[in-house]
Amino acid sequence: MPSILVLVLAGGRSERLHALGRMRPASALPFGGKYRVIDFTLSNCVHSGLTRIGVLTQYAPLSLQEHIGIGRAWDLDRRDGGIRLLQPYVRQRETNWYRGTADALVQNRNVIADAQARHILVVSGDLIYKMDYGPLIERHEARRSALTIVTTRSPEGERDRYGVVEADTAGRVRALADRSGGAADEKISAAIYLFRGRDLMERLADPALGPDLVHDVIRPMIHEGLPVYADPLDSYWRDVATIPSYFGASMDLLRPRPPLNLHDPDWLIYTPSEDRAPSVLGGGGDVTSSLVAHGGRIDGTVRRSILFPGVQVDAGAVVEDSIVMHDTWIARGARIEQTIVDKQVRIGEGAEVGVGTPARRPDTLGDLESGLSVIGKRAEIPARARIGRNAMIESGVREADFESTELAAGSTVRPRERRRR
Amino acid sequence: MSFVAYAMILAGGVGSRLCLLSEKRAKPAVPFGGKYRIIDFTLSNCVNSGIFDVSILTQYRPLSLRNHIGIGRPWDLDRKRGGVELLQPFQGWTENDWYRGTADAVWQNWHRIAERESEHFLVLSGDHVYRMDYRPMIEAHLERGADATIAVAEVPIEQASQFGIIRTDEAGWVTEFLEKPRNPPSGKISMGVYVFRGAALFQALESDAEQNTGHDFGKNILPAMVGRGRVAAYPFVGYWEDIGTLDSYYRANLDLLRDDPPFPLVDARWPIFTPSTESPPARIGARAHIRSSIVTHGTIVNGTVERSVLFPGTVVEEGAVVRESILMGETWIGPGAVLDRIICDKRVHVGRDAVLGTGPLIPNRSCPEHLSSGITIVGKETRVPEGIVIGKNARIAPDLVEDDFPAAGVASGDVLERGSGAPSAPAGQTRR
């Protein structure tokens, strides 16, 4: 195989993750009961034999840094290559945060050049999919492509988020439009780009280059008539940088025949496994259609839900159609429906979240109109509180922050004295 | 220097009372509690007590133990100074012999102890389930100026005859050490957890080595040291289980499932470390019923599971019923199969509609003393045929395939070995 450098774009702040994205980029979101989103991309890389990887981070990189460490979980602690986190840094002249995806690459030009890779695979770290990059690389080489754009069909309901790839019958890309028009059979960009190394390096060397990879690098390459090809990915693919898409992709895992199988022994998703005891399902517990990670204690009812490590569901509590992250405690008699609960949350005895009918939200949280509620990290829900649907409980909310224990659908609760981020 | 920073763990025993479980592995390597091996408890006790310099003495079937321990990373024992090492018998210039007993194992490796700076050190057993901070015991040992200190637990007197019994005077000095007496005077027993002053142990081992004894700590060394003087008892309070027999192994596993378990696996202050397998979270299907059970990563449950321990990668298909059973890693239970009080070793395959653990309670004919409480045990990687009926207290050997089973099934108390199945029927003509 030709030498390949992988650059994972994992730095973006995802406004549309709201409380889930306060402390982490989408790529660091916990997913599937024990993983983080970026694990899917990293596992694709190692299963494809690509072991020279740079992860470009900027926004709230600590959780990613801790997660990736020296890359041992992926066998990426290597003498040659391996994984490196590329954070913006101060230099003698002109110091800047990454102003965009292209700028992030420009600022790491030296690192990219040092790798002397024949091709450079630039991928978003916010994607859930399984893909062997090997055949892609072969076709890219066979076509003598300057750039190959992996395409997919847009998932339902979210078409306006993706760029549309227009290609001729031979696969030659003619245009990359900004947003999808909404047709179901459109090919959209999967945010997986394979560049011929010298073509990308040439462009990064241009002092007048704009900050955005799609707008300032990819589109000009198409317009200038360089050989840019589309390469379809036919299997499951989701971008999970919004709350509805994250929730939808999570629930897809619980289908009787999941479109993405975590249990496939030939394509395991690697992640640093936490040291936890096995989960105990108690005498009164009742769990169906769910994923349960280690370290949990379940004495209540859990249906169609994903429980991350260390979740405790007490007797009489009910969790339905929800995602519950690490070490959250759902006390006796509490009830959670259609809610994403971040880490270390405490749901008090008999509290109800997400029960009832959804309401229109007055603010910009249109994403929650589907009826989902979100409870941010380390929030505390008072005992016997009744919180209606599509609620947003910000991270760090204490019991004292609740003006009332009865909250209508579509409510938001913030900590009274908001610390500066 | 009076500090203790080194432990030797005795992990070489055959564990014959565990029947099949230890046929292919040393007793400390027997899987326990859903994801652990028995030695994890002692190793975790060491590192949680601040002891990061550990030697493990192995002899019998050390490979699975060696794989499990590796370089000791899960216990933070991959260290530049100290860490963990496995000491296997070896051929030397002058001496070369297998270990003749636990005491001989330590004696043959005395050079490892001599290299250490500390004057005192721990000798531990690798086949017990317990949480213990060794530091207070070490302090008591040093304060008293003892030659040896023995951790003492109290068990019901009817079980005491399997252990070494300790008698002490009022000051807590040991006056008598009776190894496995027929009529134990009390339930105060030695846990196999010792602190020794190096010089005192050296003397005892040196004189024992020249004699024709069993070279055993419990039988020979400690009784001899008690005769000579300064051996102290250290009372231990808490859960402690010697996984010596199949019954105690089974009971200790099922104890974990109680709503108020005597030994909770989760304890943030005293975690039990083990290498975690790389597998996805447990997947529980729409028609699953799980009660009072342990599930681990990689398991898939679509049937009914009650009061059972499922190790990683176990699959229970729809309509299958698993009750009061222990299923080790990667076991597959086919649709409609029913298991009652079964211990399946790793990678067992139970065909659809097979019924295991039914019928009269007849003790096993080859080991009635260890297999009589109704538990049936299936050896590693055996394939149990579809629709077969297997009784209680049966013993099914490892590595059997469907054709090794007689069509009439396996009666309670029977033993099925390769070739003992259908003696008269020619191969391939047995059934189906």
CATH 2.160.10.10 in chain B: give the residue spans: 277-432
User: Does the pLDDT at position A289 exceed 60?
Assistant: yes
CB distance A273–B35 less than 8 Å? no
**Strand A164-167 and strand A82-86: pairing?**
unpaired
C-alpha to C-alpha distance for A389 and B203, rounded to whole angstroms: 75
**CA pair distance B432, B424, nearest whole angstrom:** 16
CATH of B277-432 given 3.40.50.11540, 3.30.300.10, 2.160.10.10, 3.30.160.270: 2.160.10.10
- What CA–CA distance (Å, rounded) separates B247 from B371? 8
Instruction: Give residue B286's pLDDT.
Output: 95
Question: According to the model, what pLDDT value does residue B430 have?
Answer: 39
Residue pair A10/A28 in contact (Cβ under 8 Å)? The answer is yes
Residue A288 has its nearest CB partner, among B266, B285, B294, at B285
Q: Are strands A380-381 and A301-303 parallel, antiparallel or unpaired?
A: unpaired
Mode of pairing for the β-strands spanning A380-381 and B53-57? unpaired
Per-residue confidence (pLDDT) for residue A183, from 0 to 100 = 67
Distance, C-alpha B170 to centroid of its chain? 34
How far apart CA A267 and CA B397 sit, in angstroms, is 33
The CB density around residue A130, as the number of other CB atoms within 10 Å, is 18
Q: How far is CA A402 from CA A355, A377, A411, in A?
A: 18, 16, 11
Pick the CATH number of A4-252 from 3.40.50.300, 3.40.50.620, 3.20.20.80, 3.90.550.10: 3.90.550.10
Beta strands in B274-399 (DSSP E): 282-284, 289-291, 293-295, 300-301, 304-306, 309-310, 315-316, 321-323, 326-327, 332-333, 338-340, 342-344, 349-350, 355-356, 376-378, 383-384, 389-390, 395-396
Contact call for A288 and B286, based on CB within 8 A: yes
Q: Is B24 annotated as a binding residue?
A: no
CB within 8 Å: A281 and B34: no
Helix, strand or coil, per DSSP, at residue B125: strand
Q: Is the dihedral of CA A23, A28, A33, A35 positive or negative?
A: negative
Q: Is residue B279 within 8 Å of residue B293, measured between CB atoms? A: no
Q: What one-character DSSP code corresponds to residue B404?
A: G
Q: If you search the block for the tokens 């679509």, which residue do you land on? A: B302
Query: In this predicted structure, what is the pLDDT of residue B175?
Result: 93
- Is B392 annotated among the ligand-binding residues? no
Most confident region among A158-167, A353-362, B316-325 by mean pLDDT: B316-325
> Residue B423: CB partners within 8 Å, gap ≥ 6?
none
- Chains A, B: CB contacts within 8 A come to 110
Facing B294 at nearest CB: one of A275, A280, A286: A280
Structure tokens at A370: 């589907």
What is the percent of chain A with per-residue pLDDT over 70, rounded to a whole number? 93
Residue B132 token pair? 């213990």
Overall residue count recorded for chain B in this entry: 432
Of all residues in chain B, what percent carry a pLDDT higher than 90? 63
- Asked if B294 and A288 come within 8 Å (Cβ–Cβ), the reply is no
pLDDT for A88: 77
pLDDT given for residue A16 in this prediction: 82
What does the pLDDT read at residue A304? Answer: 97
Tokens of A14: 């995802």
Give the count of alpha carbons within 13 A of A210, CB side only.
9
Give mean pLDDT, residues A75-104.
82
Chain Cα centroid distance, residue A354: 24
Q: Report the Cα A241 to chain-centroid distance in Å.
A: 5
Whole-number Å distance between alpha carbons of B91 and B98: 9
- A287 contacts B284? CB cut-off 8 A: yes
ipTM of predicted complex = 0.85
Contact state of A277 with B284 under an 8 Å Cβ cutoff: no
Asked whether B21 and B249 are in contact (CB, 8 A), the reply is yes
Residue B36 banded pLDDT, cuts 50, 70, 90? very high
Rounded alpha-carbon distances, angstroms, from residue B48 to B43, B131, B132, B311: 9, 9, 9, 25
| Closest listed residue to residue B357, CA positions, set B407, B307, B323 | B323
* Averaged pLDDT score across all residues of chain B: 89
Residue A421: pLDDT band by 50, 70, 90 thresholds?
very low
Please tell me the distance in Å from B106's CA to the nearest CA on chain A: 32
Task: Determine the Cα angle at B14 with ends B372 and B232, to 5°.
Answer: 100
Which residue is associated with the tokens 């610390």?
A419
Cβ within 8 Å, pair A279-B282? yes
- Determine whether the interchain pair A268/B276 forms a contact, defined as Cβ–Cβ distance below 8 Å: no
Contact B259 A299 (CB under 8 A): yes
In the structure encoding, which two tokens stand for residue A17, read together? 């993750």
Q: Which of B131, B284, B316 to mutate to test the interface with A (most CBs of A within 10 A)?
A: B284
Among B residues 286-305, those touching chain A with beta carbons less than 8 Å apart: 286-298, 300
Interchain pair B276, A275: CB under 8 A: yes
Measure the CA–CA gap between A173 and A176, rounded to whole angstroms: 8
Closest CA to B245 of B153, B159, B149: B159
Sequence length of chain A is 421
**Cα gap B376→B393, rounded to integer Å:** 5
Q: Flag whether pLDDT at B421 surpasses 70.
A: no
- The first and second tokens of residue A348, run together, are 């008090």
* Cross-chain residue pair A278–B35, CB shorter than 8 Å: yes
pLDDT in tens, B112-143: 888 888 889 999 999 899 999 999 999 999 99
Subunit contact B296:A278, Cβ cutoff 8 A = yes
- Of the candidates A269, A281, A294, the beta carbon closest to that of B293 is on A281
DSSP classification of residue A126: S
Looking at residue B427, its pLDDT comes to 42
Q: What is the mean pLDDT of residues A395-418?
A: 87
From the list A262, A268, A288, the residue facing B284 with the nearest CB is A288
The alpha carbon dihedral of A128, A129, A133, A134 has a sign of positive
Contact status, residue A18 vs residue A392, Cβ threshold 8 Å: yes
CATH code 3.90.550.10 region(s) in chain B:
7-255
Q: Which of B34, B281, B288 sits opposite A291 (nearest CB)?
A: B281
CB-based contact, B74 to chain A, within 8 Å: yes
CA distance B405 to chain A (A): 30
Task: Using CA atoms of A329, A333, A338, A343 in order, give the dihedral in degrees to the nearest 10.
Answer: -10
B28: tokens are 């400390």
Paired tokens of B414: 């029977």
Residue A84 near residue A114, CB atoms below 8 Å: no
How close does chain A come to B258, measured CA to CA in Å? 8
User: Phi-psi category of B32—alpha, beta or left, where left has phi over 0 and alpha has psi -120 to 50?
Assistant: beta
With a CB cutoff of 8 Å and minimum separation 6, the contacts of B145 are B230
A238 pLDDT band, cuts 50/70/90, is very high
Contact predicate B260/B275, CB 8 Å? no
**Cβ–Cβ below 8 Å for B295 and A292:** yes
pTM: 0.89
Q: Which residues contact B335 (CB under 8 A, 6 or more apart)?
A: B303, B317, B318, B319, B320, B352, B353
Q: Is B262 an interface residue toward A (CB < 8 Å)? A: no
Q: In whole angstroms, what separates CA B395 from the centre of its chain?
A: 19
- Work out the end-to-end distance of chain B between its first and last CA atoms, rounded to an integer number of angstroms: 72
| C-beta separation of A308 from A314 below 8 A | no
Q: Which residues of A fall within a CB distance of 8 Å from B259? A: 282-283, 299
Note whether B357 and B369 are within 8 A (CB): no
The residue type found at B103 is A
Contact B288 A288 (CB under 8 A): yes
- Tokens 């055949």 appear where? A135
- Which chain B residue lies closest to A72 (C-alpha atoms)? B73
Q: What is the pLDDT of residue B420?
A: 66
On whether the B7-255 domain is CATH 2.60.40.10, my answer is: no
Q: List C-alpha distances in Å: B355 to A79, B193, B385.
A: 53, 42, 10
Choose the mutation target among B131, B267, B297, B318 for the interface with A, i.e. most A CBs under 10 Å. Answer: B297
Determine the pLDDT at residue A420: 47
Chain A interface disruption, residue of B44, B131, B294, B295, most A CBs within 10 A: B295
pLDDT of residue A180: 61
Which fold would CATH assign to domain A280-413? UDP N-Acetylglucosamine Acyltransferase; domain 1 (2.160.10)
For residues B78 and B54, the answer to whether their CB atoms sit within 8 Å is: no
Three-state DSSP state, A365: coil
CA distance B357 to B338: 8
Q: Tell me how close the Cα of A273 comes to any Cα of chain B, in angstroms.
A: 6
Burial of B339 (0-12, 13-18, 19+ CB in 10 A): buried
- Give the pLDDT band of residue B335 (cuts 50, 70, 90): very high
Instruction: Please give the structure tokens belonging to residue B410.
Output: 């396996």
pLDDT in tens, A186-236: 889 999 999 999 999 999 999 999 999 999 999 999 999 999 999 999 999
Select from B143, B134, B219, B125 the least CA-distant residue to B179.
B219
Q: Please indicate if the annotation marks B164 as binding a ligand.
A: yes
Return the structure tokens found at B117.
């700076």
Query: How far is the C-alpha of B397 from the C-alpha of B303, rounded, in Å?
Result: 26
Asked if B277's CB is within 8 angstroms of A288's CB, the reply is no
Closest Cβ opposite residue A287 in set B256, B290, B300: B290
Closest-CA distance, B50 to chain A, in angstroms, reads 18
**Chain B contacts of A252, Cβ < 8 Å?**
none
Task: Give tens-digit pLDDT for A348-380.
Answer: 999 999 988 776 665 555 566 678 999 999 999
Domain boundaries, chain A: 4-252, 280-413
